[in-house]
Amino acid sequence: MRIAYYRVSTNDQSVEAQRNAMGGCFDREYLDEGVSGGTMAANRPGFARLLDQVRDGDTVHVYAVDRLGRDALDVQATVRKLINMGVLVEVHGLGPIARGVGELILAVLAQVAEMERRRIFERTAAGRSAARKSLAETGRTHRGKASLGRPFAHNAAEVASWRRNNEASIATTAAHFKLSPATVKRYCAASNA
């Protein structure tokens, strides 16, 4: 059975590019959207389902080694587990990963993916640091924003006031404003509602 596994790190990304590059026409597809490559493969819902359902003789196709993960040891252990189950792992543009040389190539590529993960972390930290410094000096981040992080979807006082005026529950308020119940609780606590 031909099985595809896709992973994208953010919900803004799409698996379509991976699907198209690999040619589609798979018997089964498993995906993890909005899941970091730093999350161990077995802890991702889509990959966990794949592990439960894959059988001896199946072939698992992935677009790139870093789609399996960005932790070298986890990637190697995951591929070794699949190989031991009698499953062929095929990486787009690289071909099938088998014992011996295939595992060696995989180990090198997994290390490269882990290095990239570290570089992403370093670049993110440097960006945050530059934003904090600029915010302290000019009142704006290096990208011109007035604050760090995501902008608030709603004003906390507005949410708390609406809940109080409508005698609404946390769940009803969350649904009305399209917020999580935890956010509504936090907003209401901040406004002493």
- Domain contains 146: no
Whether 100 and 168 map to the same domain: the answer is no
**pLDDT computed for residue 85 by the predictor:** 92
**pLDDT computed for residue 114 by the predictor:** 79
* Cα separations in angstroms, 25 against 3, 8, 29: 9, 20, 10
Number of domains forming the structure of the chain = 2
Q: Which two tokens stand for residue 76?
A: 């190697």
Whether 15 and 82 map to the same domain: the answer is yes
User: Which residue segment(s) compose the domain that 22 sits in?
Assistant: 2-112
For the chain, the helix, strand and coil percentages under 3-state DSSP, each to the nearest 5: 55, 10, 35
For 116-157, give the DSSP string: HHHHHHHHHHHHHHHHHHHHHHHSS-TTS-SSSSSPPSS-HH
Whether 96 and 165 map to the same domain: the answer is no
- Domain contains 124: no
Whether 95 and 169 map to the same domain: the answer is no
Max CA pair span of the chain: 68
Catalytic residue among 9, 129, 169, 180: 9
**pLDDT computed for residue 125 by the predictor:** 87
Whether 28 and 81 map to the same domain: the answer is yes
Q: CA 71, CA 187: separation in Å to the nearest integer?
A: 37
What type of residue is 122?
E
**pLDDT computed for residue 120 by the predictor:** 82
Whole-model pTM? 0.59
Tens of pLDDT along the chain (193 residues) come to 999 999 988 766 778 889 888 988 899 999 998 888 788 898 999 999 999 999 999 999 999 888 888 788 888 889 889 988 999 999 998 888 877 766 777 777 778 777 887 888 888 888 888 888 888 888 888 778 888 877 777 888 999 999 999 999 999 999 999 898 999 999 888 877 4
**pLDDT computed for residue 193 by the predictor:** 47
Q: Which of 80, 112, 144 is the last residue of a domain?
A: 112
CB 162 within 8 A of CB 168: yes
- Domain contains 56: yes
Told to judge if 9 belongs to the known catalytic residues of this protein, a careful annotator would answer yes
**pLDDT computed for residue 29 by the predictor:** 96
